[in-house]
Amino acid sequence: MEKTFDDVVAFHGHLCLDIAMGYRISKAAVREMGPELKNMKEVVAMVENETCASDAIQEFTGCTLGKRNLIMTAAGKPVYILQNTKSQNAVRIYCHYWETFDPDGSHSARRKTMTGSDSTPEQRETFQKELEQKIQDILTLPEEKLFRIKKIKLPPPPKVGKYKAKPCGQCGEFTHEGRLKEVEGKKLCRGCQEILLERKKWT
């Protein structure tokens, strides 16, 4: 059954602009993929930035971090991709709405003023109403006002499943063998690599 906006909000835990946008994006991506989603074992979602929208992607599409078919690429763009790894067909959605939302920072400044510890109940109520109106706008605006949809074909991401683990040469904690990196003759986990690099800055 298709998830509702209420389902997505309940999963996330609260109302916000990004969860509304994630819902619209997920709904569009699932619609555009159509029969490509018949076998969910072949489907992956890729998210290029870390926002609340990723929770909407998980709840609506069924792709999750735990099932290893939700991939956070951390590319830093408001881009969301849904792909059938067998056919390599995918839908890419770029959210251009954020290019023009709050360009001068006035919304962020107003939120800080009207929801901070010094704000009055009236100010918080006013801001909440404004926020709910913006969420309603996102939920009702035509898709072209929010994002661009493009059907693409691309190689599937590498499969992530069971892996061999070996101890880090510094902390001794077992780590995915493929994530260990040799530094000064020792194979180190990412955390120890970063600590070593930080120490070098001060020596």
Mean pLDDT (whole number) for 12-23? 96
89-124 pLDDT tens trace: 999 999 999 998 887 778 788 888 888 888 899 998
165-201, what's its fold?
Answer: Wheat Germ Agglutinin (Isolectin 2); domain 1 (3.30.60)
Domain boundaries, the chain: 5-153, 165-201
Give yes or no for residue 203 having a pLDDT over 70.
no
Predicted structure pTM score = 0.82
Angle at 12 between CA 10 and CA 15, to 5 degrees: 80
- For all residues of the chain together, what is the average pLDDT? 92
Q: Which CATH number fits domain 5-153: 3.30.1330.130, 2.60.90.10, 2.60.120.1440, 3.30.413.10?
A: 3.30.1330.130
Q: What is the pLDDT of residue 163?
A: 77
Beta-bridge partners for 186? 183
Residue-wise DSSP of 10-36? HHHSS--HHHHHHHHHHHHHHHHHGGG
How high is the pLDDT of residue 109? Answer: 83
At 155, list the tokens: 């190689």
Q: Tell me if domain 5-153 and domain 165-201 are identical in fold.
A: no
User: CA-CA distance, 117 to 105, in Å (whole number)?
Assistant: 20
Q: What is the pLDDT of residues 38-88, one digit of tens each?
A: 999 999 999 999 999 999 999 999 999 999 999 999 899 999 999 999 999
Cα 33-57-47 angle, rounded to 5 deg: 90
